[in-house]
Every structure is written in structure tokens, then in C-alpha cells.
Amino acid sequence: MTAPSTTPVLISGAGPTGLTLACLLARQGVAVRVVERAPGPHTGSRGKTLNARSLEVLADLGLADALLASGRSRLSFHRYFEGAFVAESDPAADTAPTPGAPYPGSLFLPQDRVEELLRARLAELGAAVEFDTELTGFEQGGGQVRAHFADGRTATAQYLVGCDGGRSTVRKRLGVAFTGTGEPEPAMVVGDLELSGLEPDAWHQWFGPQGALLLCPFGDGDRRWQVQATPETGPDGTALAPSLEGFRRIVARHTGREDIRVHRAGWLSSWRVNVRMAERYRVGRVLLAGDAAHVHPTAGGLGMNTGIQDAWNLGWKLGAVLAGRARPALLDSYQEERLPIAAWTLQTSAAGMEAVIRGARTPGVGVEATRIADLTGLSLGYRWSSLAEDGLGGLLQAGDRAPDAPCADAEGRPIRFLEAFAGDRFTLLAFGHRPATGLPGHLRTITVDTDDPAGLRDTGGHAHRAYGVEGRALVLVRPDNHVALTARKGEEKGVLDYLARL
């Protein structure tokens, strides 16, 4: 048997979470290995919505243009009750881009397209997914993790990250409890259909006493419709497995129309209500992310987004530890920050699902019953984190997402904060003054409204308003574009002390 290979980070699972994490690490120069037990890329629309915060994350990786070209940001909802049309709405109307948030509140596109773009970006960064490679076990000790695969091979890594879904092998082998509740019977059958007779200009939603049927188009050359429906039941009352013929009956029954024809089916699956969360996200050199750490109802479209944002939080921390810029204890802040977000996600999506179930019996009420204070993800932050040090006490506080702001460089060319933040470094914003010299080289410094020829000009006042800054101040922004520290002019030592504590 050949000697096991060694890599700094081994990632199990090549969904959006694992691929995002792999790209972030590879961009930092970390050799990363991604293994996936499936024989090839996943097919099927699965998660179909990216929120604004995930778009910011993926834009930082250089994918914004490709994603926006592949998806649709506006999709009206057409609702029917017992076959009759009752209402139309446009949920995107109140989530239009703003100076502080440049991306649409939601972008509809199938998950397999998101994964395709992430794999292409990973290839540009010099790595690739190893398909048909199933991780079956591991042990850790001596400063490393030794992984075992189904084909008898082994590998060693400094860290292992389980991004391998709700049935995570990594989580089970760790012995981490996955607490919560689950239903034994499917609540919904889902899949991809090709059909005719229905205009692909809206998400069509039928409700009534016999349940629900939702048909969501993707358009732009993608002929698929994602279907979600109450399952058929057999004579004994148990749910039937999804099938092409079954969906033909479901569509005919709910719509009452003979002109809508289902021609073929692709990916088909059943979905059960599970609301569960891992009790720990880190055990030594093994970490959990995405569905391996939390599963919840589909209401609100938070699943894929929460996983991508797990990776965004973990990626810079793991890279900093491996580069020697931070102590391994920094990795504990990953659970500290992301576990409460998962708890919020579970509570929010479960409440949203209950609202949809209740609304299904009410004419005119549809999936917008799941609307919550923020489906965009832009308001979620970490004010409670040990990494948050607030010295100003203003509108924007340490732990919050760092807003975007349109500015201009010294020659008048437009530039946005998010463009200036891109990459894997901390950024120090110095409003109204040039900070003292002696700051570390890995810290990027940007002055705003000073005589610095390399600085930015807040021509529209958007930056000062978004950051709640009047006069002179310092704002330290983390590599994941959350505010690490706020301070007054002249408190550069606080910035140095903060970085030293990492």
C-alpha cells in the first residue's frame, strides 16, 4: 500500500459549503483537498436561492458577474386556491440594491449551477474535487488527522472539515450529538420537471385543502421547473415515493388544467421536516460546516446560504492559523459566532414552515408567509463575539457586517468598499485622518476623505452614513467583511493590540 498523502486541510463534501471553503483556502495559498463520495457532480436544482449576503461572499471570490448572468433576481409569485387564480406579488420589490448593499435580495438559480461555478473557480486556484472518494472514518492525534476512505486508501491532514450534509459521516464519527426534532414521514416531494403549457415568468403556487403544489422556473435556457408538492399517499396512508407519473397526477389535480403537460423528470427526492443542530462545531482538529452542522425546513431558502456563510466565517480563520498569523484558539470563535446563527436559522425557518402550512388553507396566502425581518442575511452579525471590540458605540458596532459604500479614488474613478475589501486581509478604514505609521504589512489601510493621494473620497456621504462616523475614526474590518473594532482617531495602538491577541 502506498504511503498516505498529506495536506493542510481535507474537506469532505463538495456542495456549496465545501467548495466555498476550498476556494477561500486555496486563494490564501493553502493546499486543500476536497473529497466527495458521489461519482460525479451533483445534479438537480436542490437549493435554488442565493441571498444578498451570499452574493457578497461569492463576489469576493470573483463570481458575481457569472452568478448574476445565470440567475434571475425578479420573479413574481402567482398564487392559486383550489385551482383558481387569487393573487400576484413581487417579493423582490422591497429588497432592491442600495448604496450599502449592492446585490439583489435574492437570486434564483439552481444549486448545481452554483456548484459548477465554484468548481471552475477552484480549478483556477489550482485544486479540484476528487469524486467517488468516500471518507469512512478518521482518528486524530499528534497534531494531525488521519482519514480513511472506502477504497482502502488513507490520508493525513492538519485539519479535517466535514461539509458532508445532514447525514454527515464526519459528525457521526466525531460522536457529536445532532439535537432537535424530525418527522418520519415526508412532508414534501421535490424534483426537477420539464413541462409545457405554463408561462415561465412566475413562481406558480397552488394551495388548497389537499395540500400544495409549487412550480418555480429557472429560465434563461434552463428548461427545468423545480417542483415542491404535498406527497401522494397510498392505501395505508403513507407517503408515496416521487415519480414522473405521480407528479403528472399531482399537477393535474392541483391545477385542474389539461394544457399543462409534464414531459420528463430529472432529480427527484422526498423531503422530511428535520430541525437539528450539532452541539459542537469543533473537536480538536476536526470541524463541521453547512448541513453537517445544522438542518432545518426549506422555508425562507436559508440552507445553502447559511452553509456558504459558515465557510466564509471559517475560511479566513483557518487560513490565518495555518499561515502562523493567528493562534489555533482563533478557531474556537467559529463555533462561538456561527452556532447562534444556526439556532436563529432553525427557529426562523421552522416558524416560516408553520406559517406556510397554516396559509395553505387560506385563499391568497402563499410562500411569502415565510417572510421574516431579513431573508437577505445582511443584518446578521456577531456583536456577542469575543472578536468584537467596540469603542464608538454608534449605529454600526463591532461584529456587524461592514456595509458597502460607493466612493471615488483620487482621480475620480468610482470604487466600492466591497471591492477595496476583497481578498484575505484585515482592512483598516481611517476616516478623516491618516493613521500613525508602524502598522503591520499584512494590514491593508484605506483612508477616507483625507489628503492622502491613495485614499478614497466619500463623494456622496454614503460611507460616513453607513458607518455612523462623524469626524475622525478608525474601523477595523475582518477578512470576512465584519467589523472587528471601532475606535477614535489616535487609537492605533488598540488596533495593534487586537491583531496581536489573535
CATH number for the domain that contains residue 436:
3.40.30.10
Residue 496 buriedness (CB in 10 A; 0-12 / 13-18 / 19+): middle
**pLDDT at residue number 185:** 79
Name the nearest CA neighbour of 102 among 462, 428, 459.
462
119: containing domain: 5-69+108-181+274-370
**pLDDT at residue number 293:** 95
Instruction: Tell me whether residue 320 is in a domain.
Output: yes
Same-domain status, 133 and 219: no
Same-domain status, 335 and 446: no
Same-domain status, 48 and 132: yes
Instruction: Tell me whether residue 79 is in a domain.
Output: no
Same-domain status, 36 and 149: yes
Of 370, 404, 438, the last residue of a domain is 370
Confidence of residue 438 (pLDDT cuts 50, 70, 90): confident
- Residues 28, 472: Cα–Cα separation, whole Å: 32
- Residues 99, 83: Cα–Cα separation, whole Å: 42
Instruction: Tell me whether residue 81 is in a domain.
Output: no
Same-domain status, 121 and 236: no
Q: Facing residues of 7 across strands? A: 157
Same-domain status, 170 and 284: yes
Name the nearest CA neighbour of 502 among 353, 318, 243.
318
**pLDDT at residue number 275:** 86
Q: Mean pLDDT for the chain? A: 91
Name the nearest CA neighbour of 481 among 279, 315, 362.
315
Which residues are within 8 A (CB) of 384 and not within 5 positions of it... i.e. 6 or more apart? Answer: 336, 340, 399
Strand-strand pairing, 135-141 and 129-130: unpaired
Q: What's the whole-number mean pLDDT along residues 405-422?
A: 95
Name the nearest CA neighbour of 17 among 125, 115, 127, 112.
115
CB neighbour burial string for 378-389, b if at least 16 within 10 angstroms, e if fewer: bebbbeebebbb
Q: What's the whole-number mean pLDDT along residues 148-155?
A: 96
Beta carbons of 482 and 381 less than 8 angstroms apart:
yes
Residue 129's identity, in one-letter code, is V
Residue 15 buriedness (CB in 10 A; 0-12 / 13-18 / 19+): buried
Name the nearest CA neighbour of 83 among 190, 172, 206.
206
**pLDDT at residue number 466:** 95
The grid coordinates of residue 359 equal 396559509
Same-domain status, 54 and 154: yes
Task: Supply the Cα-derived Rg of the chain in whole angstroms.
Answer: 24
Of 271, 306, 327, the last residue of a domain is 271
Confidence of residue 370 (pLDDT cuts 50, 70, 90): very low
Instruction: Tell me whether residue 89 is in a domain.
Output: no
Beta carbons of 325 and 372 less than 8 angstroms apart:
no
Confidence of residue 3 (pLDDT cuts 50, 70, 90): very low
- Checking if the pLDDT of 358 tops 80, the result is no
**pLDDT at residue number 436:** 80
Split into its structural domains, the chain has a count of 3
Instruction: Tell me whether residue 253 is in a domain.
Output: yes
The grid coordinates of residue 255 equal 391545477
CATH number for the domain that contains residue 338:
3.50.50.60
Same-domain status, 44 and 159: yes
Cα torsion 96, 100, 106, 111: sign: positive
Same-domain status, 206 and 339: no
Same-domain status, 174 and 47: yes
Instruction: Tell me whether residue 96 is in a domain.
Output: no
- Residues 249, 345: Cα–Cα separation, whole Å: 34
Could you report the per-residue pLDDT of 244-303, keeping only the tens digit for each? 999 999 999 999 999 999 999 999 999 888 889 999 999 999 999 999 999 976 655 678
Listing DSSP states for 457-491 in one string gives: B-TTSHHHHHHT--SSEEEEE-TTSBEEEEEETT-
- Checking if the pLDDT of 335 tops 90, the result is yes
The grid coordinates of residue 461 equal 456621504
3-state DSSP assignment of residue 203: strand
Name the nearest CA neighbour of 299 among 277, 273, 338.
273
Same-domain status, 261 and 321: no
Could you report the per-residue pLDDT of 79-108, keeping only the tens digit for each? 999 889 999 988 877 778 899 999 999 999
Instruction: Tell me whether residue 75 is in a domain.
Output: no
**pLDDT at residue number 300:** 57
Beta carbons of 224 and 192 less than 8 angstroms apart:
yes
CATH number for the domain that contains residue 212:
3.30.70.2450
Of 370, 403, 427, the last residue of a domain is 370
Instruction: Tell me whether residue 417 is in a domain.
Output: yes
Same-domain status, 309 and 248: no
Range picked from 48-52, 197-201, 285-289, 298-302 for highest mean pLDDT: 285-289
- Checking if the pLDDT of 197 tops 60, the result is yes
Alpha helices in 109-186 (DSSP H): 111-124, 169-174
- Residues 73, 96: Cα–Cα separation, whole Å: 9
The grid coordinates of residue 284 equal 480538536
**pLDDT at residue number 2:** 41
